[in-house]
């Protein structure tokens, strides 16, 4: 009997030693210590022993039992640690690997230009103002000194919705709106970026395009103010070396009126394909606000004077980013838009 116990114990301990995982340890536990286990069976056979032998055998079996239990417990801990280590190793994360790239949108070149202009003018104390794209004939033309039938209306081929309503052809319409909306008739300093519409469609013209208008009305505003402002504006957008050239022109709402050219930023004024060998690029219309316009919109031309300017944002963006076809700005082609991925 004694021999049997130590034999069982020996085999059990060996099996425990060799166990490969927690599952087989559990099988071993059942095999020896379970209800029908080998040691349990021995305990049940105690009845057959003489009373003197029983306590001795009892303690022998019990100490074998607890030895096996102890061994299983230790082995289980070892196995669990090993399994954990294996798991950690296989799931290890290399934090030095490059992250998977998040695709994100980019700011449209037109919006970049608009924001740049807004930042500049706001820093000089201007307000950014908006107006309706579906405009009345009155604000788009009449209040800008262009009565019905005025020949200068031919300069802008328009989309009329009714005889009174049209898609605005110029952000200049907001000049009249701003002056009319100002009940105190106090000084005005605004820029108006926004969409405009004309019946045009080729590589340099789109039926929908963007302009920014500028208007300053105050006492003693002169051409010097206009010139200084446009110089700051253009140098900021196109580089410090940019020079300006004012050519006499005609707009019904300004007198005198100018076409403003900037020195070609590609060749610096020497002449190249961009400036068609002239060294200059026509970029803005501008002038001193016509007294009629001030009067019609409630400002006393004896007290107030003003300057105004307008420029095409699409052209500006095209020059700034070297875009050759205006239609790219409206085609929503990601291959084009991706090239303006945010750097900031
Ligand atoms: N609105 C004119 C156009 O679209 C541009 C312009 C010229 C705006 C002279 C002005 C200005 O404010 O003073 O052709």
Instruction: For the chain, 344 residues long, give each residue's pLDDT as a single digit of tens.
Output: 778 888 988 998 999 999 898 889 999 989 988 888 888 888 888 888 888 888 888 888 889 889 999 999 999 999 999 989 999 989 988 889 888 887 778 889 999 999 999 999 999 999 999 999 999 999 999 999 999 999 998 888 899 999 999 999 999 999 999 999 999 999 999 999 999 999 887 777 889 999 999 999 999 999 999 999 999 999 999 999 999 999 999 999 999 999 999 999 888 899 998 889 999 999 999 999 999 999 999 999 999 999 999 999 999 998 888 888 888 999 999 899 988 876 54
Question: Ligand 1 centroid vs 140 CA: distance in angstroms?
Answer: 11
Q: Whose CA is nearest to atom 3 of ligand 1?
A: 170
Count of other CB atoms within 10 angstroms of residue 338: 11
Question: Does residue 98 form part of some domain?
Answer: no
Instruction: Specify the number of domains making up the chain.
Output: 2
Same domain, 158 and 200: yes
The predicted pLDDT at position 93 comes to 87
Distances (CA, A) of 65 to 7, 12, 34, 284: 13, 10, 11, 100
Q: Whose CA is nearest to atom 13 of ligand 1?
A: 286
Distances (CA, A) of 302 to 110, 212, 225: 39, 28, 18
d(CA 134, CA 127): 22
Same domain, 18 and 45: yes
Q: Which of 90, 122, 139 is the last residue before a domain boundary?
A: 90
The stretches of the chain forming alpha helices (DSSP H) are 2-18, 22-33, 38-44, 53-90, 109-123, 137-140, 173-181, 223-238, 291-296, 313-321, 334-337
Question: Ligand 1 centroid vs 260 CA: distance in angstroms?
Answer: 11
The predicted pLDDT at position 4 comes to 84
The predicted pLDDT at position 343 comes to 57
Question: Does residue 300 form part of some domain?
Answer: yes
The predicted pLDDT at position 100 comes to 84
Nearest in space to 108 (alpha carbons), one of 326, 322, 330, 344: 330
Same domain, 334 and 267: yes
Question: Does residue 18 form part of some domain?
Answer: yes
Same domain, 86 and 169: no
Pocket test for ligand 1, best of 286, 292, 305, 307 (most atoms within 8 A of CB): 286
d(CA 228, CA 234): 10
Question: Does residue 97 form part of some domain?
Answer: no
Question: Ligand 1 centroid vs 247 CA: distance in angstroms?
Answer: 14
The predicted pLDDT at position 342 comes to 62
Same domain, 119 and 219: yes
The predicted pLDDT at position 94 comes to 86
Q: Which two tokens stand for residue 217?
A: 């009305």
Same domain, 56 and 151: no
Q: Is 101 helix (H, G, I), strand (E, B) or coil?
A: coil
Question: Does residue 132 form part of some domain?
Answer: yes
Nearest in space to 142 (alpha carbons), one of 45, 253, 235, 262: 253
The predicted pLDDT at position 1 comes to 74
Same domain, 186 and 283: yes
Q: Is 322 helix (H, G, I), strand (E, B) or coil?
A: coil
Same domain, 77 and 124: no
Question: Ligand 1 centroid vs 287 CA: distance in angstroms?
Answer: 8
Distances (CA, A) of 219 to 178, 186, 188, 258, 288: 17, 10, 10, 21, 13
Question: Does residue 293 form part of some domain?
Answer: yes
Q: Which of 90, 118, 138 is the last residue before a domain boundary?
A: 90
Q: Which of 90, 120, 135 is the last residue before a domain boundary?
A: 90
Same domain, 162 and 308: yes
Same domain, 144 and 54: no
Question: Does residue 103 form part of some domain?
Answer: no
Print the domain residue range for 158. 109-340
Same domain, 167 and 269: yes
Count of other CB atoms within 10 angstroms of residue 319: 19
Same domain, 143 and 246: yes
Question: Does residue 104 form part of some domain?
Answer: no
Ligand 1 atom showing the smallest separation from residue 285 Cα: 7
> Which of the 8 DSSP states describes residue 199?
S
Query: Which domain CATH number covers 263?
Result: 3.30.930.10
């Amino acid at each position: 009997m004694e021999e049997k116990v130590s034999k069982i114990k020996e085999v059990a301990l060996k099996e425990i030693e060799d166990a490969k995982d927690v599952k087989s340890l559990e099988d071993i536990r059942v095999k020896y210590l379970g209800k029908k286990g080998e040691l349990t069976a021995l305990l049940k056979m105690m009845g057959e022993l003489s009373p003197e032998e029983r306590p001795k055998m009892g303690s022998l079996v019990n100490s074998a039992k607890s030895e096996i239990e102890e061994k299983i417990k230790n082995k289980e801990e070892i196995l669990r640690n090993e399994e954990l280590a294996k798991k950690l190793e296989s799931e290890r994360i290399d934090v030095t690997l490059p992250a998977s790239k998040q695709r994100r949108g980019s700011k449209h070149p037109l919006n970049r230009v608009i924001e740049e202009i807004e930042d500049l003018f706001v820093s000089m104390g201007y307000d950014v103002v908006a107006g309706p794209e579906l405009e009345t004939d009155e604000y788009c033309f009449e209040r800008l000194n262009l009565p019905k039938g005025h020949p200068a209306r031919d300069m802008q081929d328009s989309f009329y919705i009714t005889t009174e309503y049209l898609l605005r052809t110029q952000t200049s319409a907001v000049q009249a709106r701003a002056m009319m909306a100002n009940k105190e008739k106090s000084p005005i300093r605004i820029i108006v970026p926004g969409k405009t519409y004309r019946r045009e469609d080729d590589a340099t013209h789109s039926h929908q395009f963007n302009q920014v208008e500028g208007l300053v009305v105050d006492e003693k505003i002169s051409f010097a103010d206009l010139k200084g402002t446009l110089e700051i504006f253009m140098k900021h957008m196109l580089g410090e070396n940019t020079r300006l050239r004012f050519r006499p022109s005609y707009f019904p709402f300004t007198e005198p009126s100018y076409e403003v050219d900037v020195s070609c930023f590609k060749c610096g004024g020497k002449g190249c394909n961009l400036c068609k060998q002239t060294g200059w690029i026509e970029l803005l219309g501008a002038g001193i606000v016509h007294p009629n316009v001030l009067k019609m919109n409630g400002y006393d031309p004896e007290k107030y004077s003003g300057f105004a300017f307008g420029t095409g944002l699409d052209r500006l963006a095209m020059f700034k980013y070297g875009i050759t076809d205006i239609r790219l700005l409206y085609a929503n082609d990601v291959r084009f838009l991706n090239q303006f991925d945010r750097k900031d």
